[in-house]
Protein backbone atom coordinates (compact mmCIF):
# COMPACT_ATOMS: atom_id res chain seq x y z
CA UNK A 1 0.00 0.00 0.00
CA UNK A 2 2.87 2.36 0.84
CA UNK A 3 4.52 1.68 -2.52
CA UNK A 4 1.25 2.44 -4.31
CA UNK A 5 0.90 5.77 -2.51
CA UNK A 6 4.52 6.64 -3.20
CA UNK A 7 4.23 5.82 -6.88
CA UNK A 8 0.99 7.79 -7.19
CA UNK A 9 2.55 10.83 -5.54
CA UNK A 10 5.67 10.55 -7.70
CA UNK A 11 3.64 10.26 -10.91
CA UNK A 12 1.43 13.19 -9.90
CA UNK A 13 4.46 15.37 -9.25
CA UNK A 14 6.03 14.28 -12.54
CA UNK A 15 2.89 15.16 -14.48
CA UNK A 16 2.57 18.50 -12.70
CA UNK A 17 6.18 19.40 -13.40
CA UNK A 18 5.86 18.69 -17.13
CA UNK A 19 3.77 21.84 -17.49
CA UNK A 20 6.43 23.91 -15.74
CA UNK A 21 9.13 22.67 -18.09
CA UNK A 22 6.93 23.20 -21.12
CA UNK A 23 6.41 26.85 -20.18
CA UNK A 24 10.13 27.56 -19.94
CA UNK A 25 10.99 29.38 -23.12
CA UNK A 26 14.40 30.69 -24.05
CA UNK A 27 14.31 34.47 -24.30
CA UNK A 28 14.32 35.89 -27.78
CA UNK A 29 17.60 37.27 -29.04
CA UNK A 30 16.17 40.79 -29.05
CA UNK A 31 14.89 40.56 -25.46
CA UNK A 32 17.51 41.81 -23.00
CA UNK A 33 18.40 39.44 -20.17
CA UNK A 34 17.92 40.50 -16.57
CA UNK A 35 18.96 37.41 -14.61
CA UNK A 36 19.52 39.16 -11.26
CA UNK A 37 16.13 40.83 -11.46
CA UNK A 38 14.47 37.55 -12.37
CA UNK A 39 16.20 35.65 -9.55
CA UNK A 40 15.26 38.24 -6.95
CA UNK A 41 11.71 38.16 -8.26
CA UNK A 42 11.55 34.38 -7.81
CA UNK A 43 13.04 34.62 -4.31
CA UNK A 44 10.54 37.26 -3.27
CA UNK A 45 7.62 35.24 -4.65
CA UNK A 46 8.85 32.24 -2.64
CA UNK A 47 9.09 34.38 0.52
CA UNK A 48 5.52 35.60 0.03
CA UNK A 49 4.25 32.06 -0.56
CA UNK A 50 6.10 30.78 2.53
CA UNK A 51 4.68 33.60 4.66
CA UNK A 52 1.15 32.93 3.46
CA UNK A 53 1.52 29.19 4.06
CA UNK A 54 2.94 29.63 7.56
CA UNK A 55 0.33 32.17 8.62
CA UNK A 56 2.82 35.02 9.02
CA UNK A 57 0.99 36.94 6.29
CA UNK A 58 -2.72 37.63 6.38
CA UNK A 59 -4.63 37.32 3.09
CA UNK A 60 -4.80 41.12 2.84
CA UNK A 61 -1.04 41.45 3.32
CA UNK A 62 -0.40 38.68 0.81
CA UNK A 63 -2.61 40.38 -1.78
CA UNK A 64 -0.84 43.72 -1.27
CA UNK A 65 2.61 42.14 -1.61
CA UNK A 66 1.51 40.24 -4.75
CA UNK A 67 0.32 43.52 -6.28
CA UNK A 68 3.69 45.08 -5.49
CA UNK A 69 5.42 42.17 -7.25
CA UNK A 70 3.14 42.68 -10.25
CA UNK A 71 4.22 46.33 -10.34
CA UNK A 72 7.88 45.25 -10.41
CA UNK A 73 7.07 42.80 -13.25
CA UNK A 74 5.39 45.59 -15.20
CA UNK A 75 8.35 47.92 -14.66
CA UNK A 76 10.69 45.18 -15.90
CA UNK A 77 8.55 44.63 -19.00
CA UNK A 78 8.54 48.37 -19.69
CA UNK A 79 12.32 48.50 -19.30
CA UNK A 80 12.72 45.64 -21.79
CA UNK A 81 10.17 47.03 -24.26
CA UNK A 82 12.68 49.00 -26.32
CA UNK A 83 15.10 46.08 -26.60
CA UNK A 84 17.68 47.27 -24.09
CA UNK A 85 17.77 47.78 -20.33
CA UNK A 86 19.85 50.81 -19.47
CA UNK A 87 21.86 51.25 -16.30
CA UNK A 88 19.26 53.74 -15.07
CA UNK A 89 16.44 51.25 -15.67
CA UNK A 90 18.35 48.47 -13.88
CA UNK A 91 18.96 50.77 -10.93
CA UNK A 92 15.25 51.60 -10.80
CA UNK A 93 14.31 47.91 -10.91
CA UNK A 94 16.72 47.16 -8.08
CA UNK A 95 15.29 50.01 -6.00
CA UNK A 96 11.77 48.71 -6.56
CA UNK A 97 12.87 45.22 -5.54
CA UNK A 98 14.68 46.57 -2.46
CA UNK A 99 11.49 48.30 -1.41
CA UNK A 100 9.40 45.16 -2.06
CA UNK A 101 11.88 43.06 -0.07
CA UNK A 102 11.65 45.41 2.90
CA UNK A 103 7.86 45.34 2.71
CA UNK A 104 7.87 41.53 2.72
CA UNK A 105 10.17 41.48 5.75
CA UNK A 106 8.07 44.02 7.66
CA UNK A 107 4.80 42.25 6.92
CA UNK A 108 6.16 38.81 7.84
CA UNK A 109 7.54 40.09 11.14
CA UNK A 110 4.72 42.31 12.31
CA UNK A 111 2.28 41.29 15.04
CA UNK A 112 -0.50 40.40 12.62
CA UNK A 113 -0.92 36.73 11.90
CA UNK A 114 -3.59 34.40 10.63
CA UNK A 115 -5.31 32.87 13.66
CA UNK A 116 -4.74 29.13 13.95
CA UNK A 117 -7.89 26.99 14.22
pLDDT per residue as tens digits for the range 52-80? 999 999 999 999 999 999 999 999 999 99
Kindly state whether residue 17 falls inside one of the protein's structural domains.
no
Residue 62 lies in a domain: yes
**For residue 48, with 0-12 CB atoms within 10 Å meaning exposed, 13-18 middle and 19 or more buried, which class applies?**
buried
- For 3-38, how does the pLDDT look when each residue is reduced to its tens digit (9 = 90+)? 555 554 545 545 555 554 455 555 555 678 889 999
Between 3-12, 43-52, 105-114, the lowest mean confidence (pLDDT) is in 3-12
Q: Determine which helix (DSSP H) or strand (DSSP E) holds 95, and give its type and residue range.
A: helix 87-108
Residue 30 placed within a domain: no
Tell me: the pLDDT tens digits for 86-105? 999 999 999 999 999 999 99
Burial readout 76-107 (b: 16 or more C-beta within 10 A, e: otherwise)? beebbeeeebeeebbebbeebbeebeebbeeb
Report if residue 76 sits inside a domain: yes
**Domain range enclosing 45:** 35-117
The total of structural domains in the chain comes to 1
Amino acid sequence: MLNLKTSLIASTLAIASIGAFAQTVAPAASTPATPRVDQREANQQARIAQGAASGQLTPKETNRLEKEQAMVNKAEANAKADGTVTRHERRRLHRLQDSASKDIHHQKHDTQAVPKP
